[in-house]
Amino acid sequence: DAKTTQPNSMESNEEEPVHLPCNHSTISGTDYIHWYRQLPSQGPEYVIHGLTSNVNNRMASLAIAEDRKSSTLILHRATLRDAAVYYCILSVRNAGNMLTFGGGTRLMVKP
């Protein structure tokens, strides 16, 4: 299975943009890139997912490199509520909806 690599932790200032990187150099052509986040004392929540093109929704933007070996989750203006563990996950075609969570990146937001 293709794996992802993320920094263990990152820090950001409130009201500033945050770029969370993810490397997935062994990604196959049909693997989707998913992002979830887990706020303290809660279960993970879906953030965004994409295949090749950049994606935007009300929560974040997903920028996918042209060779698809890396991606970046962009929070346009970090708030204190965005402090969470962010997981970058690849889905595998024809494997059902099995998402394998890694260690993620713990984002700390400073006021």
Partner 1 sequence: ETGVTQTPRHLVMGMTNKKSLKCEQHLGHNAMYWYKQSAKKPLELMFVYNFKEQTENNSVPSRFSPECPNSSHLFLHLHTLQPEDSALYLCASSQDWRENEKLFFGSGTQLSVL
Residue-wise DSSP of 10-36: EEEETTS-EEEEEE-TT--TT-EEEEE
| Residue 36 binding partner 1, by CB under 8 A | yes
Which residue in the set 32, 59, 63, 68 belongs to the binding site for partner 1 (CB under 8 A)? 32
User: Order of strands, edge to edge, in the sheet holding 105-110?
Assistant: 9-13, 105-110, 84-91, 32-38, 45-50
Q: Which residue has the tokens 């062994």?
A: 26
Radius of gyration of the chain from Cα atoms?
13
| Residue 53 binding partner 1, by CB under 8 A | no
| Residue 84 binding partner 1, by CB under 8 A | no
CA distance 76 to 51: 21
How near is the Cβ of 16 to partner 1 at its closest, in Å?
28
Q: What is the DSSP letter of 8?
A: S
Site for partner 1 in 64-83 (CB under 8 A): none
Which residue in the set 8, 29, 42, 111 belongs to the binding site for partner 1 (CB under 8 A)? 42
Which residue in the set 45, 54, 69, 80 belongs to the binding site for partner 1 (CB under 8 A)? 45
How near is the Cβ of 96 to partner 1 at its closest, in Å?
5
Which residue in the set 29, 53, 93, 111 belongs to the binding site for partner 1 (CB under 8 A)? 93
